[in-house]
Structure 1
């Protein structure tokens, strides 16, 4: 049986880092945090069982294996981009296309979407979910809800609040927070270490890692531990009692969710207004 291929985002991070010889410059290009690019490259190295870079005080240097891999990855990414261009013709007429973080789609929009569609019975709606900021690049959506920094979202995007980080768990999980398994979303600037330092609980270490806040919440909802997530996602699950606060403290998040309308229309404005009302903005 053939082994599954590593995720495409790992190759994109490697290719950008190899061209710039810098994780920071690569992160700016692909729309991720520096830590996320570094983690993805490390994951690719682990998967391939080779070292792709030599980490030096003043930057990166490609290893011999990295030099051999780079031209093949660059050619493959270029070929994929060419193939996508044949079909990427922009938003479909009469369909409202909304690209959003998968966490926002799962935990904020999906539980209440029936209210919006019932109020707009003639509307055709297409929802595209994404995890990483660069997933939006080919969506050509009318409306976007991105997760990331203000710089990544753009100056015209509206930040959705509250954007503080809170700790949530299933009601059935009885262990106190310092003794419970801790769940952390990778690719974010703040995690349990910073949260613990700010709240007087130094030494907190996550044991479960997820690729998004949404997956972290899903793991917590099934009793697997305490998830540290953006408060903007928590409203519906707290109202229903599916999740409860594991601790009263919170800290500001360096990343957040940002809403923007790329193609103004009555339908796009209606969706924007509905989402803002839903979040009590």
Structure 2
């Protein structure tokens, strides 16, 4: 088995010192102490079994071994730099990352986002969609909009909208509600049985199952049946005639949407304030 390669930092220290012919200048460039650079180069020399520098009282000089190694190390570092550079595209100066429930992103943020963008044209937004609370732990976002119970929400999160559920049906469909397929969002407490009890209306068993309120609403808008979703999601499609109410009855749910701001910046506060206003019905 071949010997393990020396650590990359040793080669970085060697290349910088060889270019500057100074351990001190190399240390300043790569953010290390002069003694650390000297020690790493000494370790590389021990590993290779040859001296790489002639250490003079006031200067450094490359040995023949150092001159032979330098072009190869320089080329290798350039290759690594080019390979990793492809993953780092130019980032805008003002970028806000929002990790959001896909349902809120689709039915609350997206319809009103053009107005926000018009008012804040210099702010770039990156949205990361998720459904279940555990998915948010995989990302680091400035703002999070989670769906779940109060217990599942982030410690400092605040409710976004209400946890009321509304029953909706396709617009301009001749089939009576009692005969419509029911769409059920799995993993949600209560659901159609609770709605039937609250309204005194018998309901059939759901025949279409989805993993989010947003998907249920989308299917209902497309004429696939009636859905029971968080009231916050219903506002835009109701206002624009995309869907119709089954009744005026709203029922409580244990789950809802929660907003948390993880970044103490003006941009994060601006977006949070805007979205809070949207949820409160202050932005049409």
TM range (shorter): 0.5 to 0.7
2:156 counterpart residue number: 156
2:49 counterpart residue number: none
8 A Cα contact 2:106 2:214, kept in partner: yes
1:194 counterpart residue number: 194
Please state if 1:100 is matched with 2:100.
yes
1:262 counterpart residue number: 262
Encode CA deviations 1:167-210: one digit per residue, 9 max, x unaligned: 11221223332221100111111211121122212343111111
TM-score, normalised on structure 1? 0.65
Structure-1 separation of matches of 2:113 and 2:252: 28
Q: Secondary structure at the match of 2:205?
A: coil
Q: Alpha-carbon deviation of 1:93?
A: 7.1
Q: Alpha-carbon deviation of 1:154?
A: 3.0
2:247 counterpart residue number: 247
8 A Cα contact 1:173 1:225, kept in partner: no
Structure-2 separation of matches of 1:233 and 1:155: 24
What runs of 5+ residues in structure 2 fail to find an aligned partner? 1-86
Please state if 1:223 is matched with 2:223.
yes
Matches within 5 A, 1:140-151: 140-151=140-151
Deviates more, 1:170-179 or 1:227-236: 170-179
8 A Cα contact 2:147 2:258, kept in partner: yes
Structure-2 separation of matches of 1:204 and 1:254: 22
Structure-2 separation of matches of 1:154 and 1:98: 15
Structure-2 separation of matches of 1:173 and 1:226: 11
8 A Cα contact 2:183 2:225, kept in partner: yes
Q: Alpha-carbon deviation of 1:92?
A: 9.3
2:175 counterpart residue number: 175
Structure-1 separation of matches of 2:92 and 2:103: 24
What runs of 5+ residues in structure 1 fail to find an aligned partner? 1-86
Q: Secondary structure at the match of 1:153?
A: coil
8 A Cα contact 2:94 2:122, kept in partner: no
In the comparison of the two structures, how many residue pairs are matched?
192
Matches within 5 A, 1:1-281: 94-280=94-280
Structure-2 separation of matches of 1:204 and 1:250: 19
8 A Cα contact 1:177 1:247, kept in partner: no
Higher radius of gyration, 1 or 2? 2
